[in-house]
Amino acid sequence: MSYLISSAIIGSLILSLFIVLRWSGKILTGDMPTGLFAFIAILFTSGLDVGLIMFPLTEFPIYAAEANYEFTNPLAMAFGAWGFLVWALYFLTTFYFCVVEPKLKLFQIPAVKFVNNIVIIGTCAFTGFLFLSYLPDYISGITDMQRFILVGIVVLFAVLSSTDVRYVKILSLSSTWLFYVLIAAMWIASGIGLSGMTSNLALLADYFPNIHKFAMPVSDYHQFYLFWWMAWSIMIGQFVARFVGGLKTWQLLLALLVLPSIPLALWFSVLYGYYAGNIDISPIMNIFMIVVGIVFVINSLDSLTRLYTDNLNISVKRFGLAKYVGLNWAALFGLVLLYQFTPLEIEWVGLIVIGLYCVVAALTFQNQTKLRDA
């Protein structure tokens, strides 16, 4: 497993470098181009979920205690699991769906289309299942019935948002600003001040001298993260490619590496202040974190729902609003419940996606003559 994910990550990075060198000046435009901020907001909120909000505080002690992570500090390690280099996977797939897929239409091949949609639907429901599973860690004292009701409501809101791509955009932009407000509020409440924030950002900078180590799993837990990014990469690139608004190839890569990493760096630095200073999070801030985390889950689910319904021609226009909402809600919430009785791991989905990468790469190579004017 470690060898496979390492090979896949390194191969993807090499291919991304080749693409930038070969087509650096090519202008990329999706079907529904947006401004840069809107594009990054859609990408950021679609590609991340509640784990970003809640996991770091539980992970810092692990990174500080275990020998596998001694090559850097806990803050840089946490950033490495979520930021910068791993976003190159989204660059690769976004470029593919902007440039290659419109010409070759490989994802319209029945077998490829079937596997692609199974991955999307399965991962969409699996995201809901993880949210259900970790809710007791987020909300102390929540009962099982309350968990099921909350997840059902979250899935319902996600399906409703997916009925019109305008809702997806509005929710993405709103939740991005809400996340920045959360960062500011948590920073002010922490009392670490500007000096504390600056010191933490300096610690985070240790990620870059060690960046090469993050391309391969340094532990089983880091391997989980790499498989998670791999599992999501095709779906997110497929979805956000439609919103690219006239960026050159090198600009797209730079934007994906840098712009999402800025709020991530700020967020991790604020949370590290709480960890290092042993500062308690107030009940109000905890509620704020939970609310933002839930909004991120809705963002992720509505993007994936919009993607697979477009692929399968399951539209509001075709079925009507009530049938569309009812069908998708029942399917997704039903799968969330069924996941409790399966041993499914995200690594399995990642392996399927790696296989899909290989098939698409081989078919692209076979049809490379059709891309000569790209």
Interval 247-292: pLDDT, tens: 999 999 999 999 999 999 999 999 999 999 999 999 999 999 999 9
Alpha helices in the chain (DSSP H): 2-22, 36-47, 50-54, 56-65, 74-82, 88-95, 101-104, 110-138, 144-161, 165-190, 193-204, 220-240, 249-258, 261-276, 283-311, 316-319, 321-338, 346-366
Q: Tell me what pLDDT residue 207 has.
A: 96
pLDDT-derived band at 363 (thresholds 50, 70, 90) equals very high
Q: What is the mean pLDDT of residues 33-45?
A: 91
Q: Tell me what pLDDT residue 374 has.
A: 58
Interval 73-117: pLDDT, tens: 999 999 999 989 999 999 999 999 999 999 999 999 999 999 999
> Nearest to residue 262, comparing CAs of 35, 37, 13?
37
pLDDT-derived band at 342 (thresholds 50, 70, 90) equals confident
CATH number of the domain located at residue range(s) 2-99+119-371 in this protein = 1.20.1740
- Residue 25: C-alpha distances to residues 33, 44, 100, 121, 328 (Å): 18, 24, 16, 35, 40
- Residue 51: C-alpha distances to residues 130, 259, 297, 313, 317 (Å): 9, 19, 9, 31, 34
pLDDT at 305 over 70: yes
Task: Name the one residue in this structure whose structure tokens are 């340094």.
Answer: 218
As given in the structure block, the two tokens for residue 89 are: 């996977």
Q: Tell me what pLDDT residue 298 has.
A: 92
Interval 179-205: pLDDT, tens: 999 999 999 999 999 999 999 999 999
Q: Tell me what pLDDT residue 141 has.
A: 85
